[in-house]
Amino acid sequence: ALETPEEKRARRLAKKEAKERKKREKMGWGEEYMGYTNTDNPFGDNNLLGTFIWSKALEKKGISHLDEKDLKERNKRIQEDNRLELQKVKQLRLEREREKAMREQELEMLQREKEAEHFKTWEEQEDNFHLQQAKLRSKIRIRDGRAKPIDLLAKYISAEDDDLAVEMHEPYTFLNGLTVSDMEDLVEDIQVYMELEQGKNVDFWRDMTIITEDEIAKLRKLEASGKGGPGERRDGVNASVSSDVQSVFKGKTYNQLQALYQGIESKIRAGGPNLDIGYWESLLQQLKAYMARARLRERHQDVLRQKLYKLKQEQGVESEPLFPIIKREPASPSDRLDPEESLEAQPGPSSEPEAEQDAEAKGEAEGEAVLMEEDLIQQSLDDYDAGKYSPRLLGPNELPFDAHVLEAEEDTHRLLLLRQQLQVTGDASESTDDIFFRKAKEGMGADEAQFSVEMPLTGKAYLWADKYRPRKPRFFNRVHTGFEWNKYNQTHYDFDNPPPKIIVQGYKFNIFYPDLIDKRSTPEYFLEACQDNNRHPILRFHAGPPYEDIAFKIVNREWEYSHRHGFPCQF
């Protein structure tokens, strides 16, 4: 406000020159051109500082009539469009880089999965190798006469798969005479075998572990009490009733012991004011070992019975049935065993025996009788007299819809054909249908599948239907699938990781006409349009009596007629 007009004019000129300088720098002018003006420049251009306008180009584009303001707006729009196009190009480049990174990550994950699967196979082979080495060491120790308990158990369990090897003694008899340290080593060896076998024979090893741990507990109680006789040890109950309890458990089957176990568990859950929990829990612990012994004993008997049955079959000796029919007899009230009655003894080692409590040791054994061959023959005769095994005559309305009815002449003709085949080949094991299917399956590759989706043909009437019974022919069709190397598959797959085979590349129809009336007329095929789907035509086959037409829906693609891979038709 206080400057003079000369100072004001000089300030405005300096501001204008700074603006012009900034504009020139933005246009790319160098330092040597900064001092040029319209009047002072070596080019003789009176409009040097003005914007260059290409008049010829504007005339060619037909926009020479636009003024300077419209041209500037047009140039701004063009620059904005170019900027947006550059942003799109940059965004597409970033997306391509991101897709490439994701594809590389997927390939890396697939490679890791392949390596993990390969490593898993190596690990399984290594475990199998260690298992075979352990079995080999066991065989060597047994052969040298320095066998460990685990060697005998491994030999016993491997003998079950061998028809010639027979182990006569139960596996828990190998524990006789072992010390506590030997049994502890045996428990660790059993755990190693369970890990190496990966779930095979897990029930056997688990039962052996239970029995071994029970024997370890008994031996430790003997060492703690300092008494040498097995009848003197205390197993959580009074010594006066210990023998009665053992007599109840011994000699019973696994099912009977399991019923006792469930009864004791229900008694513990029910509870009561005078119930000795420690006593019943000690009985449960002993009962687990007896149940394990019973399971092993029954398994041992089953294995012996099966091997004896196989030996008798090989030698042609008639034997009793492998699994005889069991005939149950009603058990008398005095033979039933209740866990409360059979095991009701003194409540614990600290209490005195009472007069009103008794320890009954009666077995829970229902009467069982085995039906022998004479009983089975008599039962079959009774069933024959009662029900009459002769088939009942059925009417036409009682037959199912898809029943295959044979005429007597046709059955006789088929029987004669089978007899002729037997005379020629000497082998009646393979029927004509088996020969057809075996021949149809020849050369079937991994990329082929069975194709048996038949299209129903409605409204078909045959002139010979009143003379011959119409029937559908037997068929075995194959569909060949593959893939095409289109742009998508080339982008996402390679030859090491091929795309899924979902493109139908061909069909092979094998249709069986063994009983044609006119064998001189060749069967025909017709390609017809599908009423409900124009994309899939119907291929119908016609042969003549006594066979009905049969049709299949196929893909609508051009047929190939080349000599090597193209269309053949044989009859």
CA 378 to chain centre: 47
User: Kind of pairing, strands 550-553 and 454-455?
Assistant: antiparallel
DSSP secondary structure, 20-42, as one string: HHHHHHHHT--GGGTT--SSS-T
- Which element (helix H / strand E) includes 209? helix 202-225
Asked whether the beta carbons of 559 and 567 are under 8 A apart, the reply is yes
For 258-281, what is the mean pLDDT?
75
Q: Provide the CA 478 distance to its chain's centre, in angstroms.
A: 25
Greater model confidence, 426 or 45: 45
Q: Which residue has the higher pLDDT, 447 or 107?
A: 107
The pLDDT of residue 359: 36
Token couple for 40: 């002072």
Give the Cα separation of 292 and 304 in Å (integer). Answer: 18
Q: What pLDDT score was predicted for residue 87? A: 93
Q: How far apart are CA 38 and CA 43, in angstroms?
A: 10
For residue 41, which amino acid is it? Answer: N
The overall pTM is greater than 0.75: no
Structure tokens at 549: 């037409």
Residue 295: the pLDDT is: 84
Residue 311 has pLDDT above 60, yes or no: yes
Beta-strand pair 326-329/474-482 = unpaired
Instruction: Decide which of 164 and 255 is more confident.
Output: 255
The DSSP call for residue 398 is G
Please name which of 513, 532, 534, 531 lies closest in space to residue 522, comparing C-alpha atoms: 513
Listed ranges 26-40, 368-382, 545-559; the one with the highest mean pLDDT = 545-559
Q: For residues 116-126, b (16+ Cβ closer than 10 Å) or e, as one string?
A: eeeeeeeeeee
Give the whole-angstrom CA distance, residue 207 versus residue 225. 27
Cα torsion at 170, 174, 177, 178 (round to 10°)? -140
Strand 367-370 and strand 538-542: pairing? Answer: unpaired
Q: Model confidence at 106, in pLDDT bands (50, 70, 90)?
A: very high
Strand partners, 552: 454, 539
Where is pLDDT greater, at 355 or 72?
72
Mean pLDDT in residue range 273-278 = 70
Question: Helix count (H) and strand count (E) of the chain?
Answer: 14, 9
Could you report the per-residue pLDDT of 190-219, keeping only the tens digit for each?
Answer: 888 877 777 777 888 888 888 888 888 888
What H or E segment, with its residue span, contains residue 526?
Answer: strand 524-528
371 vs 380: CA distance, rounded Å: 12
In this structure, how many other beta carbons lie within 10 angstroms of the beta carbon of residue 149? 19
Residue 546, preceding peptide bond in cis (omega within 30° of 0): yes
Which pLDDT score is estimated for 317? Answer: 59
pLDDT score of 390: 66
Interval 449-469: pLDDT, tens? 776 667 777 666 666 665 567
Task: Tell me how far apart the alpha carbons of residues 400 and 392 are, in angstroms, rounded to a whole number.
Answer: 15
Task: Quickly state the pLDDT bin for 95 (edges 50, 70, 90).
Answer: very high
Rounded average pLDDT over 514-537:
84
Rounded CA-CA distance 325/306 in Å is 16
Query: Using one digit for the tens of pLDDT, what is the confidence trace for 111-130?
Result: 888 888 888 888 778 877 88
